[in-house]
Amino acid sequence: MKFRAAVLRQVGQPLAIETVEAAALKPTDVLVRIRASGLCHTDLEVIEGALPYPLPIVLGHEGAGVVEAVGSAVRQVKPGDHVVCSWNPHCGDCFYCDRDQPILCEVFSATQPKGQLMDGTSRLACDDGAPMHHFSVVSSHAEYCVVPESGAIAVPKAIPFDRACLIGCGVMTGFGAATRAAPVPAGANVLVIGCGAVGLNVLQGARLAGAGRIVAIDRSQARLELARRFGATDGLLAGDAALGDVRALTQGRGADLVFESAGHPSAFALAAEACRPGGQVVFLGKVHVDQQIAFRWGSLMGEKRITRSSYGGARPRRDFPLLAQAYLDGRLNLDDLITARLPLDRINDGFDAMRRGEGIRSVITFD
């Protein structure tokens, strides 16, 4: 079958809307008709060359839609199911999967950076038959995508697609950080540095976990005001005074848990400084993989625990339906994450807004 997709052919250039072709499904494949796809900063990293991938490639890894067809061996979903795509499908049998660390799945880690599905091949081709690469085993900036069975997660049909797609990356990463990767104890003092999509979901994860004081730090006053709608009790502008302000709000000790989601060297350093002795730091943001980050050695002392989390401890088949239901029950705020809805033809406008630091999430929607 043929369909339209946003294709990156050259680093630093806009995405082109092209016709691509999908091959016949293999036994464990799921064909999803995409109804909504969120624009994530990781997509922009690929566009700008900070995260190298083989080209040409169909980007997008925050997608939701309807199962159109399944391979002969698929048992977890069926045509007509509403699904959220997971960018971390896993084999279930390798060294890391056996140790309950699917984020490190050896099959996924070997094939995903090559722009392949987990069998080491692609189902996509250019209109002229030339190879086309997958991104994060999803490629949701398109009318259709092909994912492995473990990457298609059924969710309640009542949740709108433009909210459901957000669960697949930003929501799971942030909410999961505060409830799975580093569970927030009731009454704990929490600090969140960076109030983008991930940071806002850390805030509401901490709120639902029963945190005490929840402090948000950001460079934008508008984002700090939004942070209060997601659970922040206090908002601080980033700057030289922020560390002292955090300590003043936490009886001079620092926060019990600090979640860094800004992805900036100064934010990583502040996270270590603002954590109390015996507390925990969770790094969610990222910089270029070869960039050096400096810390004052004393900021790492005091029996602090430091964790890096890429997906909030996600077990998608367990967590995605729970998050969708939490939204339907009115406990999880997804509505305020969406700042623009765009057709596929305007996808580059969404990335331009991201470069300017505007909004939280732009979502591509399909009729």
The sign of the CA dihedral 201, 207, 212, 216 is positive
CB 79 within 8 A of CB 154: no
Q: How far is CA 46 from CA 9, 39, 120, 169, 328, in A?
A: 11, 12, 20, 16, 33
User: Look-up: residue for tokens 């949701």?
Assistant: 140
What gap in Å lies between CA 73 and CA 24, rounded to an integer? 14
CB 68 within 8 A of CB 144: yes
Structure tokens at 29: 């494949």
Residue 128's pLDDT is what?
87
User: Look-up: residue for tokens 């709000």?
Assistant: 249
What gap in Å lies between CA 124 and CA 58, rounded to an integer? 9
Q: How far is CA 82 from CA 13, 78, 362, in A?
A: 33, 9, 21
Residue 127's pLDDT is what?
87
CB 258 within 8 A of CB 274: yes
User: Look-up: residue for tokens 């305007």?
Assistant: 346
CB 83 within 8 A of CB 152: yes
pLDDT at 211 over 90: yes
Structure tokens at 352: 């331009």
CB 243 within 8 A of CB 273: yes
Residue 150's pLDDT is what?
97
User: Look-up: residue for tokens 């086309």?
Assistant: 132
The residues spanned by each domain of the chain are 2-168+313-365, 183-308
Q: How confident is the model at residue 106 (pLDDT cuts 50, 70, 90)?
A: very high
Cα angle value 232/237/242 (rounded, 5°): 95
The string of pLDDT tens digits covering residues 300-357 is 999 999 999 999 999 999 999 999 999 999 999 999 999 999 999 999 999 999 999 9
Topology given in CATH for the domain delimited by 2-168+313-365:
Quinone Oxidoreductase; Chain A, domain 1 (3.90.180)
Domain 183-308 coded CATH 3.40.720.10: no
CB 63 within 8 A of CB 34: yes
The string of pLDDT tens digits covering residues 159-202 is 999 999 999 999 999 999 999 999 999 999 999 999 999 999 99
Residue 137's pLDDT is what?
98
Question: CB within 8 A of 49, min separation 6: which ones?
Answer: 11, 12
The string of pLDDT tens digits covering residues 120-137 is 999 999 988 899 999 999
CB 65 within 8 A of CB 37: no
The DSSP bridge partners found for residue 247 are none
What gap in Å lies between CA 180 and CA 318, rounded to an integer? 12
Q: How far is CA 18 from CA 57, 126, 243, 344, 363, in A?
A: 11, 8, 49, 11, 19
